[in-house]
Chains A and B, each alone.
Chain A
Amino acid sequence: MTAATAVRAGRLPRDLHPLAWWAWAIGLAATASATTNPFVLLLLVGVAALVVTARRSEQPWARSFRLYLWLGLAIVVIRVVFRLIFGGSYEGTVLLDLPEIPLPDWVLGITLLGPVTQEALLAGLYDGMRLAAVVICLGAANALANPKRLLRSMPSALYEIGTALVVAVTVLPQLADSVRRVRAAQRLRAGDERRVGRLRRTLVPVLEDALERSLALAAGMDARGYGRSSGASRGERRTTGALLLLGLCGLCVGSYAVLDATAPRWLALPMVVLGLVLAAAGLRSAGRRAERTTYRPDPWRWPETGVALCGLAAGVSGWWVAHETPLLAYPGLASVPQVSAVALAGALIGLAAAALAPPPRVVLA
Chain B
Amino acid sequence: MIELRGITFAYDDHRILDGVDLDLDEGELVLVSGPTGVGKSTLLGVVTGLVPRFSGGVLGGDVLLDGVSIVRTPPRERAHAIGYVGQDPAAGFVTDTVEDELAYGMEQLGLPAETMRRRVEETLDLLGIAELRDRDLRTLSGGQQQRVAIGAVLTMHPRLLVLDEPTSALDPTAAEEVLATLTRLVHDLGVSVLLAEHRLERVVPFADRMCLLTGDGRVAVGEPAQLLATSPVVPPIVELGRAAGWSPLPLSVRDARRRARELPALALPEPATEPTAAPGLVATGVTVVHGRTVALREVDVRVPAGRVTALMGRNGSGKSSLLWSLQGTGRRQAGTVQVGELDPARLEAADRRALVGLLPQTAGDLLYLETVAEECAAGGPATRRILDRLVPGIPDDGHPRDLSEGQRLALALALVLAARPRVVLLDEPTRGLDYAAKRVLATILRDLAANGHAVLVATHDVEFVAQAADDVVVLAEGEVVSSGPVRRVVAESPAFAPQVTKVLGSPWLRVDEVVAALDGVR
User: What is A's interface to B at a CB cutoff of 8 Å?
Assistant: 59-60, 148, 163, 166-167, 170, 181-182, 184-192, 200-201, 204-205, 208-209, 212-213, 215-229, 291-297, 363-365
Q: How far is the CB of A14 from chain B (nearest CB, A)?
A: 13
A224–B54 contact, CB under 8 A? Answer: no
Q: Please tell me the size bucket of the interface on B.
A: 35 or more
Query: What are 7 A-B pairs with beta-carbon distances under 8 A?
Result: A148-B95, A188-B327, A223-B92, A225-B80, A228-B79, A292-B107, A364-B135
Closest to B329 in A: A184
Q: Please judge, given known A-B contacts A181-B365, A208-B401, A223-B50, whether A170 and B96 are in contact too, CB under 8 Å.
A: yes
Q: Would A295 and B324 be within 8 Å (CB), given that A186-B366, A187-B329 are in contact?
A: no
CB distance from B164 to the nearest CB of A (A): 11
Instruction: Determine the residue in chain B with the shortest Cβ distance to A197.
Output: B378
Contact A217 B91 (CB under 8 A): yes
Interface-lining segment among B195-203, B411-419, B435-443, B454-462: B411-419
Instruction: List 8 additional contacts besides A200-B368, A204-B369; criterion CB under 8 Å.
Output: A148-B96, A188-B360, A205-B365, A222-B76, A223-B79, A224-B152, A227-B108, A365-B135
The 7 A-B pairs of least Cβ separation, nearest first, read: A220-B92, A295-B103, A225-B79, A225-B108, A185-B365, A216-B91, A291-B110
Per-residue 0/1 for B129-156: is the Cβ within 8 Å of any A Cβ (1 yes, 0 no)? Answer: 0010111100000000000000011001
Q: Check if B79 sits within 8 Å of A185, measured CB to CB.
A: no
The residues of B that contact A188 with a CB separation of less than 8 Å are 327, 329, 353, 357-360, 366, 415-416
Q: Let me know if B364 is at the binding interface, CB within 8 A.
A: yes
For the complex, is B388 an interface residue (Cβ under 8 Å from A)?
Answer: no
Contact indicator B378/A226 (Cβ below 8 Å): no
Tell whether B75 is near chain A: CB-to-CB under 8 Å.
yes
Contact of A229 with B94 in the complex, beta carbons under 8 Å: no
Q: Which of A166, A209, A220, A294 contacts B86 (CB 8 A)?
A: A220
Interface of B is mostly: helix
Q: How far is the CB of A65 from chain B (nearest CB, A)?
A: 18
Given contacts A204-B368, A225-B105, A292-B110, contact A364 B96 (CB under 8 A): no
Whether B250 is near chain A, meaning CB under 8 Å from some CB there, is: no
List residues of B (95-140) whose CB comes within 8 Å of A's CBs: 95-96, 99-100, 103-113, 116-117, 120, 131, 133-136
- Interfacial chain A residues near B327, Cβ < 8 Å: 188
Contact across chains for A186 and B95 when beta carbons are under 8 A apart = no
A190 engages B353 (CB within 8 Å)? yes
How distant is B473 from chain A, measured CB to nearest CB, in Å?
22
- One digit per residue, 1 when the CB lies within 8 angstroms of any chain A CB and 0 when it does not, for chain B 328-368 equals 01000000000000000000011011000111101011111
Shortest CB-to-CB span from A333 to chain B, Å, is: 44
**How far, in angstroms, from A163 to B362 measured CA to CA in the complex?**
29
Q: Is B8 an interface residue (CB 8 A)?
A: no
The answer to whether A225 touches B76, judged by C-beta atoms less than 8 angstroms apart, is: yes
B379 within 8 A of A: yes
Say yes or no: B94 contacts A191, CB within 8 Å: no
Q: Are A185 and B108 touching (Cβ within 8 A)?
A: no
Chain B min CB distance to A53 (Å): 21
Contacts of B112 on A, CB cut-off 8 Å?
293
When distances are taken between beta carbons in the complex, the residues of chain B under 8 Å from A220 are 84, 86, 91-94
Q: Residues of B at under 8 Å CB distance from A? A: 48-50, 53-54, 74-80, 82-84, 86, 88, 91-96, 99-100, 103-113, 116-117, 120, 131, 133-136, 152-153, 156, 324, 327, 329, 349-350, 352-353, 357-360, 362, 364-369, 378-380, 401, 412, 415-416, 418-419
Contact assessment for B379 and A190 in the assembled complex, using a CB-CB cutoff below 8 Å: yes
Q: How many whole Å from A224's CB to the nearest CB in chain B?
A: 4
Query: If A184-B360, A186-B366, A205-B368 touch, does A295 touch B100 (CB 8 Å cutoff)?
Result: yes
Cβ-neighbour of B94 out of A167, A292, A293 (below 8 A): A167
Chain B residue nearest to A167 (CB atoms) is: B94
Instruction: Check if A186 sits within 8 Å of B329, measured CB to CB.
Output: no
- With A216-B88, A221-B94, A224-B79 given, is the CB distance from A295 to B380 under 8 Å? no
Which single residue of chain A is at the shortest CB-CB distance from B113? A293
Q: Is the CB of A189 within 8 A of B379?
A: yes
Contact in complex: A190, B79 (CB < 8 Å): no
- Docked CA distance A293–B77 (Å): 17
> B54 to A215, Cβ gap below 8 A?
yes
Q: Which residues of B contact A192 (CB under 8 A)?
A: 378
B110 touches A296 (CB 8 A): no
Whether the Cβ atoms of B105 and A190 lie closer than 8 Å is no
Is the CB–CB distance between A295 and B110 below 8 Å?
Answer: no
- Closest-by-CB residue of B relative to A146 is B96
Bound CA span A191–B374, Å: 10
Shortest B291–chain A CB gap in Å is 12
Cα distance A221–B96 in the bound complex, in angstroms:
14
- Contact assessment for A364 and B131 in the assembled complex, using a CB-CB cutoff below 8 Å: yes
Partner of A292, one of B74, B108, B360: B108
